[in-house]
Amino acid sequence: MRHQNPFKPTAGKMPPVLVGREKVTDDFIEGLENGAGAPGRLMRITGPRGSGKTVLLSELASIARDHGWLVVNVSAAGDLLESIRKRLLKAHTFELDSLKLSVPFGSVEAGRAETNAADFETVFDGAARKMTARGKGLLVTIDEIQDASHDDVREIATAVQFLIRDDQNISLVFASIPTGVLDLLNGKAMTFLRRAKPEELEAIPLAEVRDSLRRTIEDSGFFADGAALDKAAEATAGYAYLIQLVGYYVWRAAWLRCRELDGPIAVTDADATRGIGEALEEFKDAVLETAISGLPRMSVEFALAMSEMGEVVATADIAEKLGRSTGYLSPYRRRLIGRQVIEQTAPGYVTFSIPFMREFLVERRGEILARYGA
Ligand SMILES: Nc1ncnc2c1ncn2[C@@H]1O[C@H](COP(=O)(O)OP(=O)(O)O)[C@@H](O)[C@H]1O
Ligand SMILES: [Mg+2]
């Protein structure tokens, strides 16, 4: 029998089981159903790289579609207003008459040309009003909003606020790296972004992770013993990307061992050990190494010092350890925050943003310093 690995360790790919997101999806559904101005309709999803933001936006989009809403998903990397405008014009439900641009003496072609030329505000406002008139609504999701231009965000915010005030069915959900980073990149983050309902993607409880691993493995036609599941769940640290990566390699270890055999394939404790080892190696190279590569030497020394000091470390203690002033270290610390290697837990205190970063730095300390001739 042929078996396919069910795990999806790829950015943006919908996982076989979406674990630990019930609160967010419930908040969102409540928002959709509670009418104009409900808090769940304006939402900010934050978390480090690999915590599952993009996938969650897709999930919310599909919930909104199930409610009959028109959905536009965009990423902030390009021209935000133009991509929203274009998508709305293309959307099936959004036809020529929807802008109420009356062209009494013009031809249909002239009307279409006029529609196509309408600016962002007209198209956006028209789409939301038309959907509301149908008893539905408009959802816009924006991924990686930290990359958007302030002017674009401000313009969207104004349009959304206007629609909310007019009791129109509009929802805006955006994802960004953690708020501390957002403040740092954008000065004080724009008020509008701050007012949205915050949903911080924190570590997923291991019991839920374990259950999802078991279900995914069983749905693929394998089964797993309890010890293997415990071990695998623990190795994920509740981090979304690691759930897929660990699951993938543990499943693969069993498959490599048993693919020539007949009968059901069991994932054993030994498969878990082997798979976890391979998953963590890949995680180090693909995620942890990438996160620190190309940083200035002082940033790297900052992170290395931190790794030897504890989970949450005072910037002042790092400065003392390195024999530098906190002022001198400040730009190097900021680089680390911008790269999502570390984050601020309270003013003057930092911690690592990505699981296993600390262990990784301790383990590869010599090798990393050698790159800087140290
Ligand atoms: N809730 C979840 N449960 C299980 N796996 C998830 C979950 N969310 C995301 N993943 C997996 O984690 C990885 C990263 O997800 P992604 O949405 O790209 O993260 P981000 O956008 O925060 O960087 C993908 O492999 C995805 O399948
Ligand atoms: Mg993403």
Q: Which of 85-89, 106-110, 369-373 is predicted least confidently?
A: 106-110
CA of 239 to the centre of ligand 1 (A): 8
CA of 360 to the centre of ligand 1 (A): 22
Counting from 1 in the atom list of ligand 1, the atom nearest the Cα of 201 is: 22
Cβ of 40 closer than 6 Å to ligand 1, yes or no, is no
Q: What is the pLDDT of residue 1?
A: 58
| Residue 148 scores a pLDDT above 90 | no
Q: Kindly report, residue by residue over 213-270, the tens digit of the pLDDT.
A: 999 999 999 999 999 999 999 999 999 999 999 999 999 999 999 988 877 899 999 9
Ligand nearest to the CA of 177: 1
Q: What is the pLDDT of residue 261?
A: 82
Rounded to two decimals, the pTM is 0.89
- Residue 295 has phi, psi (to 5 degrees) of -75, 155
Mutate which of 213, 244, 246, 251 for ligand 1 pocket (most atoms within 8 A of beta carbon): 244
Ligand nearest to the CA of 201: 1
DSSP class of residue 284 equals I
| Residue 206 scores a pLDDT above 80 | yes
Report the SS3 class of residue 204: coil
Bridge partners for 267 per DSSP: 224
How many beta carbons lie within 10 A of that of residue 207, not counting itself?
Answer: 10
Region class of 266: left (phi > 0), else alpha (psi between -120 and 50), else beta: beta
Cβ of 215 closer than 6 Å to ligand 1, yes or no, is no
Mean pLDDT of 134-162: 91
- Residue 268 has phi, psi (to 5 degrees) of -100, 175
CA of 107 to the centre of ligand 2 (A): 44
* Among the listed residues 132, 141, 128, the one whose alpha carbon sits nearest the alpha carbon of residue 28: 141
CA of 51 to the centre of ligand 2 (A): 8
Q: Which residue has the tokens 């019991």?
A: 207
Calpha distance 60→53 (Å, rounded): 11
Cβ of 236 closer than 6 Å to ligand 1, yes or no, is no
Q: Kindly report, residue by residue over 265-283, the tens digit of the pLDDT.
A: 999 999 999 999 999 999 9
| Residue 69 scores a pLDDT above 90 | yes
The domains found in the chain, sorted by start residue, are 22-200 (3.40.50.300), 206-290 (1.10.8), 293-370 (1.10.10.10)
**DSSP structure string for 13-39:** PPPSS--S-HHHHHHHHHHHHT-TT-G
